[in-house]
Structures are given as structure tokens and as C-alpha cells.
Amino acid sequence: MGRKAQHRSALLRATQNLLRQKGYLAMGVADILRASGAPRGSLYHHFPEGKVALAAEAVRVEGETVRRHLLRLMQDHPTPEAFFAAYAARLGAWMAASDFRDGCPLATVMLETASEDPPLQQAGQAAFASWLSVFSALFTHGGLPPEAAQRRALQSLAIIEGALLLARVQQSTVPLATLIPACGRLSLDAA
């Protein structure tokens, strides 16, 4: 990897970490440069529109990382029941290991910016849509018709996001262990 490409990935990694730790509004360009070690010129070379473009690309990369993680988990645990049990255990281990600092890598930045910054909004929408597709495929493989699979996917994503927030608030894995495995078993009445 050439130095330019190295700077680009260092900028992205630093931005991903800062978005997760502090969110978008409290993240300054100076923070990104300090954490990445990249020169200011390289930020504007790779991301001429500056912080918002860099953050949108970081959101896209995070979304893709999570999507690939979900796909691997689905290969190992192909039924909804096995998948959500394994996912709850993994999220619980991550959150406990980070002293409940980790969580959804996109939730904070989306809550801060989804209504304000179209590039971030679009990147976030695409990321969440790609996760919903994985969950839909999981429920379809589990035998549900497409519409029911999509409804269950939306419900599961909401429960996961809500459980991650509650785990953070309660500083406990109990919400994850109580709520997420049930996504593989919940029956949702037809609306």
C-alpha cells in the first residue's frame, strides 16, 4: 500500500473510532489528524469535502464491516434461533470487554446527524438497509414468506438497537441476553 493509500486508511480508521467514541458533532478535524497521524493535505486530497465526506465514508465502511460479520455468523448459524443466540452472546462479550463503551457503531452518529447531513444520512440508510437484508434472508431461509421475513427483520434490528442502548444505560449484558435470542423465536401478530 502506498503512502497515500496508507493515509487514507489511517484517516478512516481514526474517524471510525472517533465516531464510535464521541459521535460526529464533538469530533474535530484536529482530532482526526492527531489520531490518524495523516497530514492535513491528505484529508482534503482524499476527501475534498472534508469532515462530512470522511465521516460518510467511515459510516459506509462500518456498515459493510457489520454486514460481512452478520453474513459470516449466518453461515455458522443458519437458523434464526441459532443465529440470534450466537449474536447475543457475541455482542454481550464485546460490550463487557469494552466496559460497555462499544455498541452499535452507527447509532450515535445517526441520532446526531440523520436529519442534518444528507451524505451521512444516505450512508447510514444504506448501512441499515444492508443489515435488514441479511436478517430478511435469514428469516426467508427459515421458511417465512418475504413480507413476514421483512417485518421480522425490521423488528429484530429495532430490538438489537434498543437492547444495545439499554445495555449501555444499565451497564449490563442482561438486556442483550434477555431480548436478542427471542428475535429468533418471537411471533409477531399480523398488523
Cβ–Cβ contacts within 10 Å for residue 120, how many? 24
DSSP labels for 47-78?
Answer: -TTTHHHHHHHHHHHHHHHHHHHHHHHHHHS-
Give residues 120-159 in contact with a second copy (rule: CB under 8 A): 121, 124-125, 128, 151, 154-155, 157-159
| Rounded-to-integer distance, Cα 170 and Cα 177, Å | 13
How many residues form the binding site for a second copy (CB under 8 A)?
47
| Shortest separation between residue 40's beta carbon and a second copy, angstroms | 22
Site string for a second copy, 52-91 (x = CB under 8 A): ----------------------------------------
- Write the DSSP assignment of 5-53 as a string of letters: HHHHHHHHHHHHHHHHHH-STT--HHHHHHHH---HHHHHHH-TTTHHH
- The nearer residue to a second copy, 47 or 131, going by C-beta atoms, is 131
By beta-carbon proximity to a second copy, the closer residue of 137 and 154 is 154
**Closest distance to a second copy from the beta carbon of 82 (Å):** 15
Min CB(97)–a second copy separation in Å = 12
**Burial category of 18 from C-beta neighbours within 10 Å (exposed 0-12, middle 13-18, buried 19 and up):** buried
Q: List contacts with a second copy (CB under 8 A).
A: 22-23, 25-26, 99-101, 103, 107-108, 110-112, 114-116, 121, 124-125, 128, 151, 154-155, 157-163, 165-166, 168-171, 175, 178-179, 181-182, 185-189, 191
